[in-house]
Chains A and B, each alone.
Chain A
């Protein structure tokens, strides 16, 4: 019980329990979110966050993608950080990380995962997944082992499969339609802590 009083106030924990898919015990004990956050930049993150630090203190993008073990090997790590950060540049505060982990947890329902997946794959933030977005995704996924012609062929196939209204790119509804028929999405789009 000691930890609880030191790092967060009761009210904050109550809020976190209501706003994420974790229980307060999970946040503190099992997942040790605050500890992980602190390990990224011990100099920036204080031990106690009883006031407003969880919103104000931000850890820069470069450190997050290097030090957070769950994200380190992920090809989309930069994009994930950009999506979840408030300033859009990838600098995460404690609440952003909590949000991130909550969306990627097992208890999160499919809808919210689909929403965030769409945002992650939409590299240029134009609310569509176009050919450039798919190309960037493929490059990150394959680590440039595919030739551009192969990439082009695959992109064409993807658009052919998923695009319904014929505009050459995927809107959210088309993406959602395809993803609900992808049986692996729910099991791969989750980070186990």
Chain B
């Protein structure tokens, strides 16, 4: 194993070396060096002669020998000192330094020259040497490519040129680049990851808006059909109240579901009649935007998943990661740098603390353990109870609001009262979202988990709270519409969600500018330490992530019932960036917990995915089970939304129907499941075998290390012996000489 490169060399025809370390040459000590060693025999000094310790960076591309001009490693013998080793390019993801072993062509052409030049970048040598290398490559005569290869090469060159221009153009267009840089300089990469996440959601919403606009809104606007739907008649006299509540003229507008027709438009192009089945388009667009959102989330999550797998599998080198990857090289603000130092200090102290906690945990007596388990169960019950309580509160708030609105209408009370009653459910939800997390934070201190787990479980509970509130709202809405006789329940649902979005956004503005900003000002200018403690805030990342994800969930839920909600959420996200930026830069101090970019990203994506699933389930249920209103919207007269898709399906040609029905039969599904299961089992087995292999190889490496030490010591002992022997021989010689001298004299 040690010096493994040695054994491989004679077997490879071209002399390729697959040493593990990329940039380091191997070189073998010459006899001269051995002689030098004779005088000073020290195992440590000997060790420096080992091939693996001779590190000389890959300095030059091999000058091509006279007989052939391919770049390859020269066969090494003990006398050659400056041979270079390059690792073969393995993965496409990282740029590897590899010289292509050109077996067939002896001459270089433009393409290989260009590729070699591109690889100079990744060499860890100073710039002047790179320039020399480039000059050397360029000075070699190279052929022009002929025929087909030339076309290929030209095409690639043009494509590359175009791609680099495109990249340049993109960086010019990049949104909010300066803001991101400022935030990064002050707060580090973890917080910037949040804002990048916000940007990603913004573009997702833009996409949703575009497809809704193109396929649903635009046709409706273009075809000005006379609409015979009946609408709810809730109207106030005040335009502003109407605007905020979504009643009155807003209700009959394009914002809500009730406006859209259920007819199939037909239009003629060149005397062929084309049909545009509007209801089908409506439901297909909904499915499309859910599908695209899911794919985009999964793709982003998969990018971070690779890192997590490496992190979770085998070992996570906690201390090394902290020391070597802890300092964020982006920070260039003095205050942030000071805080970052403190943050790293806190984290290291926390690590040491965790070690002590683990020890303590092992030393816990049985009594303490059972007591802790009981406490944890109680806390969990309390948390669940709180969530249930919130759900009930929302339900009753909705009922109460409905009742009050009904009586207020009958008694013809002031519009303003109606307005208040209409907003009661939204306010309840928002209040519970703001207040319950404090309770959760207080409760979790009793459970005595370690700090990372505390963060995770608090986050999970808060996510559960928000989703529970959405679920309850949805369920109560369904119930209301079944009880009462609202003529157009989808519009009603759309209105509720619209109001909720507005309330949430208004709360953000209120909290950021009118509550937290004065707090921060006070904390900055008043020297009292108690006031400081109350006033200073840190940028609590999980809370802000949840805000954003909550809005996105509402958007997903609401776009079916209020298509224009997509453009609203686009605008809201755009403004939210600036609001959050203000909250971050002006209101908050850099927090003393380090948020790591990698862990942050995976946290965002997991929370988003959970919310997505929570949004899809009610939608799927309402598509298939709930009956659409008979008098308004694209799906009137049908007994479920999905029915439209079904009827279209049945009108497709027979062979399509046959294929799809075959796909759903047991004859197809069972073998597919079996195969998937077998694949899963196979990969799991390979995975665990690899893990075992890693442990075995690691042990072997350690043993080899010991072997090496042992051999070095023996070698040095032996050399010492030799030295002694030589010395004695020389002494004897000298004495003999002396004797002969004396005898000759």
A residues within 8 Å of B by Cβ? 15, 18-21, 23, 25-26, 30, 55, 69-70, 72-76, 84, 86, 95-96, 98-99, 102-104, 108-112, 115-117, 121, 127, 134, 137-138, 141-143, 145-146, 150, 153-154, 157-158, 161-162, 164-167, 171-173, 175-176, 178-185, 187-192
Contacts and interface: CB of A to CB of B under 8 A. Distances in A.
Interface in B316-353: 316-321, 323-334, 336-337, 341, 344-345, 348, 352
A18 B329 contact: no
B131 A19 contact: yes
B141 interface: no
B124 A185 contact: no
Contact of B325 (A86, A98, A184): A184
B345 A145 contact: yes
Interface string B163-189: 010001001000000000100100001
A182 B443 CA distance: 33
Contacts, number: 193
Q: Which 5 residue pairs of A and B lie closest in terms of their CB atoms, listed nearest first?
A: A165-B705, A73-B337, A182-B321, A183-B598, A95-B127
Nearest to A184: B325
B341 A161 contact: no
Contacts of B408: none
B24 interface: yes
A115 B20 CA distance: 14
A15 B121 CA distance: 11
Interface of B: 20-24, 52-53, 55, 57, 94-97, 117-118, 120-124, 126-128, 130-131, 134, 164, 168, 171, 181, 184, 189, 307-308, 310-311, 314-321, 323-334, 336-337, 341, 344-345, 348, 352, 596-599, 698, 701-702, 704-706, 708-709
A102 B124 CA distance: 11
A165 B708 contact: yes
B353 to A, nearest CB: 11
B94 A188 contact: no
Contacts of A19: 120-121, 127, 130-131, 134
A142 B352 CA distance: 15
B331 A15 contact: no
Nearest to B308: A183
Contacts of A187: 189, 597-598
Given A178-B324, A181-B310, A189-B325, A173 B20 contact: yes
A119 to B, nearest CB: 8
B179 to A, nearest CB: 12
Contacts of A15: 131, 134
A76 B327 contact: yes
Contacts of A190: 329-330
Contacts of B709: 166-167
Nearest to B96: A111
B138 to A, nearest CB: 10
B122 A111 contact: yes
A99 B308 CA distance: 31
B310 A180 contact: yes
Contacts of A191: 329-330
A179 B334 CA distance: 27
A137 B322 CA distance: 12
Given A115-B124, A142-B341, A178-B317, A164 B332 contact: no
A104 B319 CA distance: 23
Contact of B117 (A18, A109, A112): A18
For B127, B317, B344, the residue with the greatest tally of chain A CB atoms inside 10 Å of its CB is B127
B498 to A, nearest CB: 39
B325 A182 contact: yes
For B319, B325, B329, the residue with the greatest tally of chain A CB atoms inside 10 Å of its CB is B329
A55 B337 CA distance: 32
Nearest to A70: B332
Nearest to A129: B324
For A73, A117, A143, A185, the residue with the greatest tally of chain B CB atoms inside 10 Å of its CB is A73
A107 B316 CA distance: 26
Nearest to B705: A165
13 contacts: A95-B126, A150-B348, A154-B352, A158-B319, A161-B318, A164-B698, A178-B324, A180-B310, A182-B317, A182-B324, A183-B310, A183-B599, A189-B325
Contacts of B123: 112
Contact of A167 (B311, B328, B705): B705
A178 B327 CA distance: 16
A18 B120 contact: yes
Contacts of A20: 121, 127
A55 B120 contact: no
Given A18-B120, A23-B168, A98-B127, A158 B55 contact: no
B345 A142 contact: yes
Nearest to B597: A187
Given A111-B122, A115-B23, A183 B329 contact: no
A181 B314 contact: yes
Contacts of B131: 15, 19
Contact of B326 (A23, A55, A150, A188): A188
A192 B130 CA distance: 24
Contacts of B120: 18-19
Contact of B330 (A111, A150, A192): A192
A70 B117 CA distance: 29
Nearest to A84: B126
